[in-house]
Amino acid sequence: MNATEAALALAVLSAAPLLYAALGELLHEKLGMFNAGIEGVMLMGGVIGYMVAVDSANILLGFAVAAIAAAAFNLLVYAFPVLVMRSSQILVSFALWFIGAGLSAQLGLNYVSRPLPESIGNTSIPLLSRLPFLGNIFFRQPWPVYVAVALTLVVAFVLKRTSHGLSMRAIGEDPASAHASGIPVRAWQTFYTGIGGALMGIGGATLTLVVTGTWTSQITAGRGFVAFALVIFAGWRASGLIWGSFLFGLLLVLGPVGQAHGWSIPSSILGMAPYIFTVAVLTFRTWLELRRSGRTLAPAALGLVFVRGQR
């Protein structure tokens, strides 16, 4: 594996936490809710997964508990205020972020210097891993990378090709009409906040258990916001998340790679790349789409509160 291949393989690995988190966010937004507190849920998943993996010496158990804990956290701190108490999705998102950041730092205090008892090795995909160039980049990765891509494809399929996916999209487009069609709007919103939270938590756990193999407070370093932008970048299409996450992953590794190769651009500048790109996406993506097709790709009722009997 040459240096370019190694850098690109690292980019793909770094994409996995983003992909999980963005997939979780997509499940929120397709059902009309936006959750800008991804960062907090990722941190909770990251720290709890790490703690469980260290204490039980079982990484898989770490992932499982991280998923459940993050789902519970997201349901309690996000879904309950938003769906039951009708609180502002913006304010609750910030609460989610702050609580997740503070709580995870506190929980993980004693785990900062404790190493993982084992690490996940790479799994080579038969045949495909022998492809020149691509094999080394895409098909010799730890299994959570493959699972992220597979889950994204499953979500894409469900959204696009099943009647349930049609119902999900209808909730995000027009909850009142969905309700009038007999779709239990709030029940599905609650369900997918749980699933979405679990995915964000798995994203955080992938970061701590696979990508870095360590826990420090605020380890996500803004990846939750990058994932938020990724959903917009992908035009709310699940399949678009996959290559979008690779692109953001590439930007994420620019800093370390540049440093390792002694590029003349300061690595602190390179390190800003994903965040600058995030800002650019948030600023221009919708504008570009409006100019191109005359409408936005966002679910029409995104962020609107649905109260039964009102329109």
- The full DSSP string for 62-124 is HHHHHHHHHHHHHIIIIIIIIIIS---HHHHHHHHHHHHHHHHHHHTGGGTTPPPSS----EE
- Measured from the CB atom, the residue of 261 and 308 that comes closer to another protein is 308
Among 61, 103, 125, 166, binds another protein (CB under 8 A): 166
Q: Of 153, 180, 187, 279, which lies in the binding site for another protein, with binding defined by CB under 8 A? A: 180
C-alpha 174/C-alpha 160 separation (Å) is 17
Is the Cβ–Cβ distance between 19 and 197 less than 8 Å?
Answer: no
Residue 42 makes contact with another protein by CB under 8 A: no
Nearer to another protein (CB atom), residue 131 or residue 300 = 300
* Residue of 85, 126, 127, 163 that binds another protein (CB under 8 A): 163
170 binds another protein (CB under 8 A): yes
Q: Choose the stretch contacting another protein; rule: CB under 8 A; options: 26-34, 63-71, 137-145, 156-164.
A: 156-164
Distance of closest approach, residue 190 Cβ to another protein, in angstroms? 15
> Checking phi first, is residue 115 left (phi over 0); if not, alpha (psi -120 to 50) or beta?
beta
Helix (H, G, I), strand (E, B) or coil at 301: coil
The tokens of 55 are what?
């204490």
86 vs 311 by CB, closer to another protein: 311
156 binds another protein (CB under 8 A): no
Q: Hey, how many other C-beta atoms are within 10 angstroms of the C-beta on 298?
A: 20
List contacts with another protein (CB under 8 A). Answer: 161-164, 166-167, 169-170, 173-174, 176-183, 300, 309, 311
